[in-house]
Each structure stands twice: as structure tokens, then as C-alpha cells.
Structure 1
Amino acid sequence: MKAVEDAKQAVQGAASAVMAKAVQMAPDSWMPGGKPDPLIRAQHGHVGRPISRVDGPVKVQGAAPYAAEFPLDGMLYAALVFSTIAKGKITALDTDAAEAATGVKLVMTYRNAPRMKPMPLFMTSEKACGGNDLPVMQDAQVYWNGEPVALVLADTQEQADHAASLIHVAFEEEHAITALAEAKAKGVEPGQFMGQPLKFENGAAEQALADAAHKVDQRYTTPRHSHNAIELHAVAVAWEGDRLRVHDATQMVAHSAWSLGHVFGIAEDQVHVTSPFVGGGFGGKGLWQHQVLAAAAAKLAGRPVRLMLSREGVYRIVGGRTITEQRVALGADAEGRFDALIHTGTTAMSHHNVLPEPFILPARSAYATKTMKLDVEVAYLDMVANTFMRAPGEAVGTFALESAIDELAHDMGVDPIELRLRNEPDKDPTTGAPFSSREVEKAFRDGAERFGWANRQAPGTRREGEWLIGTGVATATYPYYRMPGGAARITLTPNGAAIDIAAHDMGMGTATAQTQVAADRLGLDMAQVTFNYGDSTLPGVVMAGGSQQTAAIGASVMAAHRALVTELLKLAGNDSPLAGLDADEVVGVNGGLAKIDDASAHESYASILARAQRNELVVEAEPPSPLETTHWSMHSHGAMFCEVRVNAVTGELRVSRFLGSFDCGRILNPKTAASQFRGGIIMGLGLALMEETQYDERSGRIMNPSLAEYHVPVHMDVPEIEVMWTDIPDPHAPMGARGVGEIGITGVAAAVANAVFNATGKRVRDLPITLDKLL
């Protein structure tokens, strides 16, 4: 879009330095084909600089169109009616008053909805992204409290909302399992995550626990959490014959195109999904019923449709994080080294999704232990399908694990940091694989020094007036992923280059960081590079999730860049200063290619293209499979430091200081990375102190579907947050970088709970930590 291009032109990046003298080749660096990557070793040009967001000017001017802001000719506005029972059948639907209301053009129910297939359930195939695999308004059956049962289309949103309120629905209720205790009584099943069992056992952990010199054995619980991105879920759709055009707020454009094609029985390339701007996703912006219903209604009405969920609507049909009950037991010898680590428990989910909360994931790699027992069991409820939410598993798993370690440290009289470092593993505890890079001790030592950890006092001893003050610490951890992302395309012209890949920017600065990387790789200024994303017609199958998009995009662009350089050297021919060189012997610099160890052997892209009588050169290439994760144990790490103040009279809790010290490999853009770290920490404060989806176990209904009743952190809840990092490249990750999007939330709740204990002597094991638990 022109506005985006204008914004990119406004970004003033420094000119690329001559790289030939700066780059030192690293024999163990990652690159397609196993070759060294010059960008890993040296920070030069744009990478590593705190560049402001290229989309910033467009957004602050209000010129960035979000999904609910695309104007379509003849567009109708949609409103939904939700079921009020958890399970049963619709016995009566009175839509007469709604159909007669001013401006109404269509009322759609199961009686007149087009025939559609269920959404392909996320993770059941490469491009499947449905939040559940239930029929979408195809019959009278009701599967959860909040399921859409009617849709109204009208000329204005106000008319649609009013007409929806006139629809009366009667139900015949069936017995629904909506209480966790009843679900557990009916039996639990083994949990699986990404096709792997959530179970691991090494040695006789229970016996080792019983025999241990020091031990803790406690139960921890976490509640449901609902997605609350600033941008509400929305979609604008139009049918153009048998082709479907979709403007969506999504984290997976290519997946959505394929999945919607499956629903409507059309080919993937007949569905065009765009999502240039997304106001937060956090795992919740996949394919849910509202996109399908909007497309179905548009087909029925023969006109474009806009459907934006209300805040209540998000709670009703978009899943969030589900409830967990966790047991953590630790046994240690006299020196504090673990003889047993046990992390087991139960989580709830529906029969129609595939995400048990995998809370044992941190325990798999965080600590060395002689024996280990990990297990997640699943109880099934008739509820809205839960889904991914920032650091699924790790966010709540670190609360239990890191609280238990703090309890053990207190019982033993050992500093909590020293206990953690005594149990640092030298290899992956479950797989035996070597770590690709692990700077946990540096993160703890550096963070402790900056935070002033040495000044910590015994529990309940530090006080200022009515306020009890305490500090706590916890480990943060999140695995490195790189999902196969398909091809990237580079179009090179005499004046610059365009990178095309079906990736996403949900506010984390993807376009900025990737423009920095591409500019340095090509030897161009940032203003000469255009990064195109958020469109299903572009090459690639990149999902913005699992903190893996940076690595996935980077690997694809590296492959395409290598193909580009290979083609350029062919075009250069024997008359070029580059004659006889191959792709491993040259580097992009000063708007062209130069020999790595001889900057004078240089030719510009414009010169190469002109001699070949070409106006542009287009290449497309796919990266290798993510084999690095089969050879190495790859994780980001962090140390979370928290200071709290608890009012001894009222129980009021204030977080007064917070520091996150991170080890995430190379930091491509310190400004956007710091924003991600802080955002994760703030979300972690909400998880620790206030967030809770209040769910009526009698009816299966969410009872606080608004930001007036579901509390998230506001400015008064958040102190100044300091972040720091090691910035040590991981030699086995593309560009040396591991993900930063989710690690910030991990460990936060435990650090807060541990600080509360240090302040008050009270141990809170059930989130959120509300004042009634401290009185």
C-alpha cells in the first residue's frame, strides 16, 4: 500500500558499511546448505540497531486499515445471537420481528445457512487452522454456551444489533459436563501436544522423592484466561463469483485461505486472504466461526459483509487459556542437587479441539535431575474450545515449577538463584541433546547485580509503614521453533528489492526487523527494501505463533537470497570483477556484490542487470527443513526479578519494580525486542494478579465477558519495567536469533508469588493472587 511505502521511505537507516572487512566467517553458523552466515558474527549496518517501526507513521496517522475498516461497495453489517445453554437442541426460532426490523436484509440460522463442511482443526494438517471441528450453523444441535445460533445482516451495525435482540430462541437442554470435578470423575485421558505425548519418565522419581534429604510436594492451580487483544476479532468478506475475498485479523493468512476453501468446497487459490495490520493476536486470531459465518451470509445475501465481534462475542466463541491443576514435587540431596523432579496434573479441554495446556514443557529442559516424572492428563468439558494463548504451557507451568523451587530454597535456607544454578543441566535432561546455546547463568548473574538482589532480606522483615516489601525471582524459558515456512520471493531492480512472503505483523515489528535483515544481507539502505506480507497470494506458509516467525522468515529469505546471488553471479559473466566467484565467496554491500576478503572486487546490482539487459531479477526458494532442532536442544531463557509491596492492613498488592534479564540469542532490533519483552511481562502481571475468566460450572457460561469485569493490567498496575539481554548469537539458529515474543510472560507469575512470600511469609499457590488471599 502507498501509505506503508511512504512510511518506509521515511525511515532513516544508516548506510550499509563495507562488510568485506567486518565479517568473520563462523564455521558453525547456520545457513541453508550448512554454509556460514556472515550476518551471525558481525553487527553492522541496520541489524542490532534500535530502528523505529516502519509502520509507525501509518498507524499514528490512522491510515493503517484493520480488518473492520475495509470499505466494500454495498456492504452489510452483521450481528450474532449466542446460545445460552451448554448442550442441547434448538426447539424454536422466532425471527419474524428481526426480519421485519428497519434495515434488515437477512436473518441466517441453521434453517437457511449454506451447506458447509466443518473447519479443518488446527494442527491436523499443514494448513488447517480451525479453532474447532464442529459444524458451523448446520443443524439444531448446541455444543457450548455461547455458540452462534443466528446471524443478522442489516444496512448499519446499529440496525443489525437491534434486530439481533429481537430474535427469540428456545432450547431443549441435555446434560452437559461443565464442572471439572465431574469431568475428572468420568475419567481422564493422556494429553498430547503437537503430536507428541505429554508424558515422560526417567527413573523411579516417586521413590527418589521419598528418599530425598530435602523435598517439597505441592499443588498449584491456574484459572481460565480469555483473549483480549486491543483489536476485536473482525472480518470483511465478499464473493466475486466463485472466488472469496477476505480481509481478516489473522495470524495465518495462508492457512486461513486453505481452510476456508475446504469449508466451502473451493480450491485454495480461489480464496484470497489479506491481513496487513493486526491489533494483537497472542494465539487467538486463527480461524473461528465468525469468519465462516460472515462468508456464508455474504454468499446467501449476494453482498459483501463486515462482521466484528463485540468484546462479549470474543469471550463467547474465541477460546482462551484453559484451567490447570498441577502437582510439583522436588527432592534434593544435602547440597541442593535434584534427585527427583515431578510435574504432573490435569487440564480441561473440549472434545472438539487439540490443545491440552502443556504445562510440563518448562520442566523438560530447565533443570538437571537424577529422576523425572512428567505427565499431563486431560478432562473433557462441554465448553468453548480452548486455544493457544501467549506461551501456552510455559506461562502457567513456570508458575508451579518456579514456585516449588522457591519453596525448596526457603526450606533449605539456600539462595533461590544459587539453588537454580546448582541444577543447571549440561545437556537436555529428557533427550540428551547438547544445547545450541545456553547463557542462563549470565542472565541470572547480570540481572541480580542490576536488580540489587544481594540486598534481599528474610521473609516478612522489610517494612515501610503499612507496606511489607519483598523480592522474588524465577526462571523464564521458551523453546525455539522453526516451522516449515515455504518459499520466499525476492525481486531485485536497479533501485532496490522487494521481499514477498505470506507472513504477519501483529504489532511486534516483524516488518521492521526483517527489513533490517534484508537490507544488510543485500547491502542496501532500508529505504530501498520493501517487505510485503499479510497476503495469502504471496509465497510461503508462515504462521505467526510459537515465537518462530522470525526464524521461519529468516530461513526462507536466506534461501531466496542465496538463489538470488547465484543467479546474479551467472548474469555477471566473465567481464565482471566477480567472475569465477561462487555464492559463498561474496557478500552484499554498497548496492551490489563484493568479494568477502577484497572489497575492491565489487559490482553493483544495477551494473549486473544492465549488462544482462534485465530490468529485474526474480527468484523464489524454500529453506531446508528445521533439522537444527533434531540435533540441538534450543531454548530462550531468562531470569525474572520482582519487587512487591503488600499492605499489611488491606492486603493490597503493588508491583513496585520488575527486571527481566534474557538470553534469546542475537537481538535483531533492541527497540522492538524490548517492547516484546515488556509486553510479555505486563501480560504476566495480569496472569499473576488479576486475570480470571469466571466460569459458572452449573451452566458452562462465562460470566464476566467484558473488560469491566475481566481485569487486565492498566497503567497503575504496571511499574517501570527494566529489560536486559545477553545478545550472544545462537550459532544454530537463522541469523543467530531465537524468538522473543512469548518468553516475557514466562516466570512472571512465579516471580510475583515468590516476592509476595518474601514480603509476607504467605505462600499463594492458586492464581490470581488477589488481596483476599493475603489478608
Structure 2
Amino acid sequence: MTTVTTSTAGTTGSVGAAHARLEGRDKVTGAARYAGEVPFAELAHGWLVLSTITRGRIRSVETGPVLEMPGVLTVLHHGNAPRIDGNYQGMMGPPDPVIQVFQHDRVPHAGWPVALVVAETSEQAREAAESLVVRYEEEPHDVVFGAGSPGAYVPDSETPTEKGDVEAELASSAVVVDAEYTTPEEHHSAMEPHAAMARWDSGRLEVVDSNQGSMWVASELAKLFSLDPGAVRVRSEHVGGAFGAKGIRPHQVCAVMAATVLHRPVRVVLTRRQTFSLVGYRSPTAQRVRLGADADGRLRAVDHQALSVTSTVHEFLERSADAGRAMYAADALHTVNRLVRVDVPTPTFMRAPGEAPGSFALESALDELAEKCGIDPIALRARNEPAVGPASGLPFSSRNLLACFDEGAARFGWAQRDPRPGIRREGRWLLGTGTAASSFPSGAAPSTASVTAEADGSFTVRITAADVGTGARTALTLIAADALEVAPERIRMKIADSDFGPAMVAGGSMGTRSWAWAVTTAAADLREQLALGGGIPPQGITVRADTGAAVQALTQKERHSFGAQFAEVAVDVTSGEVRVRRMLGVFAAGRIVNPLTARSQFIGGMTWGLSMALHEEAVRDQASGGHVGADLAGYHFAAHADVPPIEAAWVEDPDPDDPVGIKGIGEIGIVGAAAAIANAVWHATGVRHRNLPIRPDRVLQAGTAAHGAG
């Protein structure tokens, strides 16, 4: 036995100190293996074939010629694929039928999976898949979405907010804003495409995958294939971006099907174009915001109604109207989210779901109200700062929004801003500045972790966390080091393996908070056991902790991260081009575990907000029902040349009810960023843009219309 002390002088205080990513060197040198790169003996390769119609039925899949092509092993389709069971409740509710591949001949939207070609090499599989002839019976389709789309309804998952008499308060208001805002369909476009390998090993299913939660995927596969949960193992060590799209998807199911049929490992990797129809996206939105206020800007009424799209086969709600439920005090508050069904793929969670598009509408409307009242936009927000949650009535766990605005205004030079629009000019460029508020819910979910004191003096932590590029692996190492009072170098962090037990997925800005809770609980229990003495045997001493009861016992408070976004833009009056010159975000987002990676997360979110404001827009062809330019050439987002100097900072804001003080930072960076840029464009030009993205043609058209009206 070996005796190990867990109290080492000078090793505490890892949390809060900047630390490089533990796996950073492996990633930049290529040593890190992603799901599509891990080698396996006798590996076969699957290539998906997607529907070329938008609605109808499959008449025939002509497999004969393809099966004679070099290297082709099999072609799976609705006529021969293994049967699976999609009648269950998973972690996110009932599954999207798109994962129940090859179970019937129906085609409910463009890009629906109709076959999988499996061959010895990926090149052979692709050539054969592109040669496969599938014949259809086509039916009329409808992919049109807008504010006036028929059939809008309030889904069962939505509970509208009703406080006070909105109509009466609007009628009594001295100043009213009533405007409609739209955001387009947007896509995750993770750098690493979706990929999964499946094989059977001694009666157990093993999957190597790129996902946001290995236990999530393992449990869904077990249900789909009617397996004992313990018979499925999913690993996902390195993930090159996810943003909400990497849960259970058709490629994992196809890989398992093919491995079952062929009795050998099979890998399925999605192409960039395939991700546009198979892995979800952010729904387009049409939002109406009505604000009523006294002449001094005090809000009397807030009415936010949002409409989004869902498929005809599955229901997903983009909760845009939720954005204001925790933001501003008002005598009357009404928010509601509605859906309309059309023949499109099912949307899904995408970074800051609901809050990102919802904040664009609400924070733009606040800026319009400030203009009408003749009040500074920051002063207007301060005037309507709530004492408790506007919708819930619950106290805030902490709310440092005004501190973010104070710090941000000082750093940005807001006091020197001339509020009049359209007066600052440099040659052909009009200049303007804008601001907006950010918020995102802060939650925690039950998770399980184990910590082992090893005989050599090190500690091994095991938890089914997922590092999707956020730096979670490093953050958890720092948290474990402090909890055990040792140096980070003595921690061996093992993540992303479903065998480690249930844990929160990397999503909802809840991952690190939930995992940290489990790690610190297990570490505390281990320290108590080590304090009893007796030494450490060769196999080590392991303690396992489950935070279910602790998380569920959280005090009833309204928990959010908050922030203030600032942007300066230049608008070319001759071309309509909008250039963001600088951005600043100041956030109150709990205790910052690792400033180095946290700053990266904030800046990444703000960059996405810039992209949302000026570039991103997936367009559907109404005749075909499919996308126009479903690739990274046709779907535009911000490139390096579009991104200005971005500064991210934070104020002290630890959550008193969290063992580490964490709130969550993964999504708040995008919230409000697009509105700050849109408000800056108004300040530069005097023209409001209520439809994203703010393209050059829209700037020119709006300028022409304003000039004509003048």
C-alpha cells in the first residue's frame, strides 16, 4: 500500500487561473483522433442516399446494378433493413422519426434517408450511392413559411405567459412600439461533420461517435434496437464542434444496422450537404413585439409573440418569445410561441435556442422604444430593471446586468456617443454604435462521477462529459484539482464514455456546471475516506457520486447569466456593405473556471452573433423544397476578414447555490449580439433593419426607400 496526502501546499486555486487546453497540442499536431479517423480492422464504409423529392413515396430501389459494382457489400433500404422500435421516450422526449431509417416508403421532406450503400472503401461506397436509382411517386408539397402562414398553433409544450392586461396597458401608454422582426433558417455547420463507427464485440455494441453526450446516444440506440442498456457502449473522445446538432442522428443508426447485417465494423460519415437535411437547424422565426411605456420610458406592457416552423412528422419548438420572461419589469406581460407545420426537416436546438433569435427582436424593439422616448438605450434598460423575475415572480439567484452595462459603457466609450443617427461619417462610410442586453438560463442536471486515488499519488476522474471544443476537459481538471487540493498535473481526466454512467449532455450551458457538481461531490467523499488512513492499495480507492438529489434540491430562484453587448459598425452608402469595426461583451455568468477558454467561448458566441446579423441565411427553393446552396460556398457565415477586434470581459457573479459558483457560458455570447449590431446600423444610417441578415441589397433598398419617403 501507498500513503497519499491530498493537501499539498501551493496547489489550490487552480479554478480562476488561465490554463491551456490539456489536449491542445494533440489537436494542433493531428495526434487527436476524431470519430471519422479512428482505425479499425476490417472496417467497411457506408454512404447515405437521400431523397430527391420533397414529399411522396418510394416506388422502387434498384439495387441490382449497384450490388455488382466494385467493393459494394450491401444496400440497405426500407425493403430489407432491420426493424427498429421508435416508440419510446428518450432524454429529449419522443425521437425524431428521421432516425427511424428505412422503416417505410414515405418521404416527408427533401433529403430524407432512403438507402445506405456499404462498400470496402468510402470512395466505392460514394460512387455506388451516386449511381443508385430510386424511383418515387411524388406528391404536392409546401415549404413556405412566414408571419401569415396558415395553420399556426400553440403546441402542448408551450405555456403562454399572462400577467396583467396587455391591451389596456398599451392603450394607456404614452409611447408604443409595434413591430415585426424575422430571422432566417440557420445551420450549425460544425467544423467536424457527423461520423460514427459501429461494431459488435462479444455480444456488445460499441460505437465511436462525434456527439454531445455519449450516454444520451447509447441510451437511444439501446431503445431503438431493443437492447439492454448495459449492452451498448458509446465513446466520443474528441468532437470538432456540435452547437446542438450532435445527438442521436441517422448516421449512427445506419452504422449499427450495417454492422449487424455484415458482422463487421461499419463507419458512416455525413457529407456537409447531407447535414443540411439530417441533423436539424435553427428554425426561421417571425416575431411581433409590442411595447408600451410612459413618456419617461417606464414599461407598462410587453407583448412578444413568436412563430417558428416544424416538420410534419415531429414537433420542435424554437422558444423565441421566452427571451423577455426574465428581462424587464412591466405592469403587463404576454409571451407566446406558436408553430406551423410544413414539409421540411425537423429543426433542433442550436446555440442559444430561442434566446438568440428572440433577443434580436426584443432588444431591437427596446432600442426603438429608447429612440421614441428620447432616452439613452442603457438608461432605458436600467429604468426597467426588475426586482424579481418578471414572469415567475421568483428572486434572482444573482442579477448583475447593470454592472455589465456600467463596465461595458466605460470600456466602450459610450458616454461620448451622440445619440442622433446618421451624422458620423468617414468618406463613404456612415458610422454608428449600438448596444443590447443578453441573458440565458442557468441550470444543472443530475450527473454521476467517480474519482480514484491511485497508488502512484495521482487521481483518475471518470465522467461521461463531452468536450465539444469548449475546453470542458481542462475545466473539469482544474475543478477536480481544487476539490482534491492537489496540482492539476496529478489529475487524469477521462470523459465521453457511456460506461462511466449517466451525465448531463454538453448543451443548454449546463454541461460544466452539472459535471463539476458531480466531480466535487465525489472528490469530497474520497477525501473523507482517505482521511481515515490505511493507505492506498495497488488497485486504488474509488468513490462514486450521483448528484440527483442535490440538484433537485436547488432553492427556488430564477437563475440566469446576463450580459451587455456593444458594437460599432461602418456602413458603405454606395455598396450597402456593413462592416463591424469592434465589439465588446461584458458578462455576469457565474464563476469563471478557466479565463483562457472562457474568453474563447464568449468571443466565439459574439462572432456567431455577427455572422447571424450580417451573413447567415439558408434559402429554400419553393419549387423543389430543397436548399439553394446547401454547402459552405452557398451558406455564408463570417470569415476571418469579417471579424473585427472583439473584447470579452466579465464581472464577479458567483452562484451562491453552486458548489463551484458556476452558471454557464457556452451560449450567452451569441445572445443580443445581432441586436447590438442592428441597433448600430440604425445609429449609422437612421434606418431600422428588422429582418436578418442585414445584407447589402437590403441596406440599399432601405436607404432608397427612406430617401424617397424623405
TM bucket normalised to smaller? over 0.9
Secondary structure at the aligned position of 1:425 is classed as coil
| Whole-Å separation in 1 of the counterparts to 2:61 and 2:314 | 28
| Whole-Å separation in 1 of the counterparts to 2:653 and 2:356 | 24
Structure 1 position 375 matched with structure 2 position 340: no
Q: Cα 1:119–1:661, aligned 2, differ >3 Å: closer, same or farther?
A: farther
Secondary structure at the aligned position of 2:528 is classed as helix
For 2:666, give the aligned amino acid: G
| Whole-Å separation in 2 of the counterparts to 1:120 and 1:754 | 45
The answer to whether the 8 Å contact 2:218/2:232 transfers is yes
Structure 1 position 56 matched with structure 2 position 61: no
Q: 1:577: which partner in 2?
A: none
Deviates more, 1:451-460 or 1:392-401: 451-460
Q: 1:73: which partner in 2?
A: 41
| Whole-Å separation in 2 of the counterparts to 1:470 and 1:488 | 50
| Whole-Å separation in 1 of the counterparts to 2:155 and 2:90 | 16
| Whole-Å separation in 2 of the counterparts to 1:393 and 1:634 | 17
For 2:71, give the aligned amino acid: G
Q: Cα 1:135–1:85, aligned 2, differ >3 Å: closer, same or farther?
A: same
Residue 554 of structure 1 deviates from its aligned partner by 1.4
Q: Cα 1:763–1:175, aligned 2, differ >3 Å: closer, same or farther?
A: same
Residue 243 of structure 1 deviates from its aligned partner by 1.9
Secondary structure at the aligned position of 1:568 is classed as helix
The answer to whether the 8 Å contact 1:119/1:132 transfers is no
Q: 1:616: which partner in 2?
A: 540
For 2:542, give the aligned amino acid: V
Structure 1 position 313 matched with structure 2 position 290: no
Residue 418 of structure 1 deviates from its aligned partner by 0.5
Show CA shifts across 1:153-185 (max 9, x none): 112111111111111111112233322269932
Q: Cα 1:218–1:482, aligned 2, differ >3 Å: closer, same or farther?
A: same
Q: 2:703: which partner in 1?
A: none
Residue 135 of structure 1 deviates from its aligned partner by 3.3
The answer to whether the 8 Å contact 1:247/1:275 transfers is yes
| Whole-Å separation in 2 of the counterparts to 1:56 and 1:170 | 48
Q: Cα 1:275–1:314, aligned 2, differ >3 Å: closer, same or farther?
A: same
Structure 1 position 740 matched with structure 2 position 665: yes
For 2:580, give the aligned amino acid: V
Q: 1:85: which partner in 2?
A: 53
Q: Cα 1:159–1:121, aligned 2, differ >3 Å: closer, same or farther?
A: farther
Q: Cα 1:559–1:512, aligned 2, differ >3 Å: closer, same or farther?
A: same
Residue 56 of structure 1 deviates from its aligned partner by 0.6
For 1:514, give the aligned amino acid: L
Secondary structure at the aligned position of 1:164 is classed as helix
| Whole-Å separation in 2 of the counterparts to 1:205 and 1:247 | 52
The answer to whether the 8 Å contact 2:108/2:313 transfers is no
Residue 120 of structure 1 deviates from its aligned partner by 4.8
| Whole-Å separation in 2 of the counterparts to 1:627 and 1:48 | 27
Secondary structure at the aligned position of 2:208 is classed as strand
Structure 1 position 546 matched with structure 2 position 508: yes
Show CA shifts across 1:63-96 (max 9, x none): 1110001111111111111101222111122222
TM-score by length of 2: 0.94
Which of 625, 629, 645 is the equivalent residue of 1:700? 625
Structure 1 position 769 matched with structure 2 position 708: no
For 1:443, give the aligned amino acid: C
Q: 1:600: which partner in 2?
A: none
The answer to whether the 8 Å contact 2:484/2:524 transfers is no
Q: 1:22: which partner in 2?
A: none
Pairwise mapping of residues 547-696 of structure 1 onto structure 2 (< 5 A)? Answer: 547-569=509-531, 571-572=532-533, 608-609=534-535, 616-623=540-547, 624-627=549-552, 631-696=556-621
| Whole-Å separation in 1 of the counterparts to 2:168 and 2:608 | 38
Residue 625 of structure 1 deviates from its aligned partner by 4.3
Pairwise mapping of residues 298-447 of structure 1 onto structure 2 (< 5 A)? Answer: 298-447=259-408
Q: 2:496: which partner in 1?
A: 534
The answer to whether the 8 Å contact 2:310/2:342 transfers is yes
Secondary structure at the aligned position of 1:219 is classed as strand
Residue 358 of structure 1 deviates from its aligned partner by 0.2
Structure 1 unaligned residues grouped into runs of 5+: 1-14, 20-43, 573-607
Show CA shifts across 1:436-488 (max 9, x none): 11111110011011011112222000000000000000001101011222x21
Q: 2:162: which partner in 1?
A: 201
Show CA shifts across 1:693-728 (max 9, x none): 111233321222100000111101100100110033
TM-score by length of 1: 0.87
The answer to whether the 8 Å contact 1:82/1:316 transfers is no
Q: 1:150: which partner in 2?
A: 115
Q: 1:190: which partner in 2?
A: 154
| Whole-Å separation in 2 of the counterparts to 1:320 and 1:155 | 32
The answer to whether the 8 Å contact 1:46/1:517 transfers is yes
Structure 1 position 250 matched with structure 2 position 211: yes
The answer to whether the 8 Å contact 1:134/1:352 transfers is no
Q: Cα 1:135–1:617, aligned 2, differ >3 Å: closer, same or farther?
A: closer
| Whole-Å separation in 2 of the counterparts to 1:245 and 1:561 | 30
Q: 1:460: which partner in 2?
A: 422
| Whole-Å separation in 1 of the counterparts to 2:551 and 2:357 | 27
Q: 2:141: which partner in 1?
A: 176
Deviates more, 1:166-175 or 1:619-628: 619-628
| Whole-Å separation in 2 of the counterparts to 1:463 and 1:609 | 73
The answer to whether the 8 Å contact 1:223/1:692 transfers is yes
Residue 615 of structure 1 deviates from its aligned partner by 5.5
The answer to whether the 8 Å contact 1:205/1:373 transfers is yes
Q: 1:509: which partner in 2?
A: 471
Which of 136, 144, 160 is the equivalent residue of 2:125? 160
Show CA shifts across 1:136-157 (max 9, x none): 1012111211011111111211
| Whole-Å separation in 2 of the counterparts to 1:122 and 1:459 | 51
For 2:681, give the aligned amino acid: V
Q: 1:24: which partner in 2?
A: none
Q: 2:641: which partner in 1?
A: 716
Residue 616 of structure 1 deviates from its aligned partner by 2.1
Structure 2 unaligned residues grouped into runs of 5+: 1-6, 701-710
Matched residue pairs, number? 691
Residue 630 of structure 1 deviates from its aligned partner by 5.1
For 1:175, give the aligned amino acid: P
Pairwise mapping of residues 192-271 of structure 1 onto structure 2 (< 5 A)? Answer: 195=157, 197-271=158-232
Secondary structure at the aligned position of 1:478 is classed as strand
The answer to whether the 8 Å contact 1:131/1:387 transfers is no
Q: Cα 1:16–1:120, aligned 2, differ >3 Å: closer, same or farther?
A: farther
Deviates more, 1:299-308 or 1:623-632: 623-632
RMSD: 1.8
Residue 412 of structure 1 deviates from its aligned partner by 1.1
Residue 110 of structure 1 deviates from its aligned partner by 1.2
Which of 481, 494, 497 is the equivalent residue of 2:459? 497
For 1:763, give the aligned amino acid: R
Residue 348 of structure 1 deviates from its aligned partner by 0.8
| Whole-Å separation in 1 of the counterparts to 2:596 and 2:88 | 38
Secondary structure at the aligned position of 2:669 is classed as helix
| Whole-Å separation in 1 of the counterparts to 2:253 and 2:364 | 42
Residue 335 of structure 1 deviates from its aligned partner by 1.9
The answer to whether the 8 Å contact 1:152/1:163 transfers is yes
The answer to whether the 8 Å contact 1:121/1:133 transfers is no
The answer to whether the 8 Å contact 1:131/1:287 transfers is no
Secondary structure at the aligned position of 1:297 is classed as helix
| Whole-Å separation in 2 of the counterparts to 1:631 and 1:475 | 24
| Whole-Å separation in 2 of the counterparts to 1:270 and 1:68 | 23
Deviates more, 1:717-726 or 1:733-742: 733-742
Q: 1:599: which partner in 2?
A: none
Q: Cα 1:172–1:58, aligned 2, differ >3 Å: closer, same or farther?
A: same
